[in-house]
A and B are shown apart, each in its own frame.
Chain A
Amino acid sequence: MTEKIDTMLYLDGVSVAFDGFKAINKLSIIVHPAEMLAIIGPNGAGKTTMMDIITGKTRPDDGEILFNGRTDLTQLDEAAIANLGIGRKFQKPTVFESQTIWDNLEMALRKPRGIFATLFYASDQADVDHITEILETVRLLSRKDDLAADLSHGQKQWLEIGMLLAQDPKLLLVDEPVAGMTDAETVETAKLLKQIAKTRSVVVVEHDMSFVRDLDSRVTCLAEGSVLAEGSLEQVSANPHVIERYLGR
């Protein structure tokens, strides 16, 4: 068993109930530094609720959640958790539609978040270079002055991944990153996430099994709020419980 202190994310016996319905039931998950974990599972398995709990949107009723082996996340709010170095991409791409792609990234850029620091912020050359670099990575450089609202669904997903990169987090929580993407884009996204996972921890929730195969990472299958199976994709998809509850015969 791994020591708590060596983990990036440590969930132990986490439970949360909404009106008596146990959305998460004694969930225990460990993510190591610079490791990718793919989470699969049927609808209602608690995948998004798990992300809500980690990022401070929902308070767990019970259990322990540690970040970086030390910080207790259950006592912090969303902004504090984001500033610790946990970035989240939402299931539905959520970008600031009435603002330009450049401004979206500038706001996400890891900089002091205080009111007056933000009011008197002036971008220096390093910031400009960094944003340009991210724009190249997510292939939106030519559209930097367009409004985020004008992007296609897949491009919005990429912009949101770019915003995650700009935040420079230690842990990325990525909820269904390839929904609405073409097959080619899906392949590219898998490459990009694997690249990111070389230096950071990444948790990906996804339904697209071929995408999960491309990620080539450890897989956890959730069902009814707890872990059903863990291991490589082959092991998990060979598990009879997983076949019964999720993959179907």
Chain B
Amino acid sequence: MITQAIFRAIDRKAIWLVSILLLVAVAVPAANLIIPPGQFGHIPVYLVTLFGKYLTYAMLALALDLVWGYCGILSLGHGAFFALGGYAMGMYLMRQVGDRGVYANPDLPDFMVFLNWQELPWYWLGFDNFWFACAMVMLVPGTLAFIFGFLAFRSRVTGVYLSIMTQAMTYALLLAFFRNDMGFGGNNGLTDFKEILGASVQADTTRAALFAATAVGLAISVLICSTIVNSKLGKVMIAVRDAESRTRFLGYRVEYVKLFAFTVSAVIAGVAGALYVPQIGIINPGEFAPANSIEVVIWTAVGGRGTIIGPIIGAVLVNVGKSYFTGAFPEIWLFALGALFVVTTLFLPKGIVGLIGQYRTMTTRREQHQRPEPTEHKPASDVQPKPAE
């Protein structure tokens, strides 16, 4: 049963995408470690980390696309799940610091010593263990999404109201994590990491390994998402997006369909956050900022929602642009981002991937005109999702 579902998901596009990602997972670290600096093809370590960051963003955008592009839930709070996954990984990395902190306290992280705390809060217990932390990376965002989604979807909160609620959720978490009493480092967050699984986080090999892990993580996310969207459940998700109440009259429990998509998506976002933190070296409450979550929506829209590859392309391209612009013309970046969103919304409703689809349509149309009997078949890109009645 399960093998069948996965087998069906492995269409040509997914195979290509996964193969490319696995190739990247090997090639980029190899180009950094094996090819010596100065020689053609060498990728400096800062670029490896930068690309790694883009790939975690791509994972986050893919997670958002699963709920927005396929299920019609516009979440403006997906950054919260990303940040929670990041905090869980950050807590593990903090515990690995041991007595090498500024205060050299073997039992407590620096910020707790600074606050005069005597012992570790209960919710920090277990984070010495890497696998426990990994479980929490998925469980914490997943549980929050499950509870939030259960309450929201059961009460049939939809559309812009749901978006506002997700925005409020991430803002509430932002304020909560700013407080020192929360025990997550307050304003400064968690930083000054030393080791991950016994390897120095600064070492080139560790950075290369983290990059490879991120690329593999993205490949697995692609497989999971394409398994879901190519299944009958994926069709039901699209049905919910296009005509929610009609789906209900077919006997599907719309709230559970949404809850499933939302929870899976939050888990993927959490894992993305956990891969982000050791590469960037810090996690602070700023990651909960509503603007971050809105940026994810822009990446997804630019790349093309409702496709698997779209959000990945969007996240990477927009962030390459951001890295360039914030270096070259820092003052115009936000204007450029805003303009990008406006242009996408007005002229590219299906994003960059949709543009390729439109081009293909034009060429096939031309071919069809030359044939004696044109078929009635129209391509998918002509149909806009319709709001539910």
Contact = CB atoms under 8 A, between A and B. Distances in A.
Given A115-B256, A121-B231, A167 B250 contact: yes
Interface string B112-128: 00000000000000000
A83 B8 contact: no
B231 A120 contact: yes
By CB atoms of chain A within 10 A, which of B1, B232, B243, B382 has the most?
B232
B102 interface: no
A42 B379 CA distance: 42
Given A106-B232, A122-B1, A82 B256 contact: no
A159 B4 CA distance: 29
Contact of A115 (B1, B239, B257, B386): B257
Contacts, number: 103
B150 to A, nearest CB: 13
A167 B256 CA distance: 20
A82 B383 CA distance: 28
Contacts of A87: 249
Contacts of A137: none
A213 interface: no
B172 interface: no
Contacts of A79: 248, 251-254
Contact of A118 (B4, B236, B383, B389): B236
A150 B378 CA distance: 8
Nearest to B246: A94
A119 B5 contact: yes
Contacts of A97: 242, 383, 386
B366 interface: no
B242 A103 contact: no
A135 to B, nearest CB: 16
Contacts of A167: 250-251
B4 A122 contact: yes
21 contacts: A55-B249, A78-B248, A83-B251, A94-B246, A95-B243, A96-B246, A97-B386, A98-B386, A99-B242, A107-B236, A107-B239, A107-B250, A113-B251, A115-B257, A118-B232, A118-B236, A122-B1, A122-B4, A143-B376, A149-B378, A163-B250
Interface of A: 55, 57, 77-79, 82-83, 87-88, 90, 92, 94-99, 103, 106-108, 113, 115, 118-122, 143, 145-147, 149-150, 163, 167
Given A119-B228, A147-B383, 5 more contacts: A79-B248, A87-B249, A98-B386, A99-B239, A167-B250
State the 6 A-B residue pairs at the shortest beta-carbon distance, nearest first: A82-B251, A78-B248, A119-B233, A121-B232, A118-B233, A83-B251
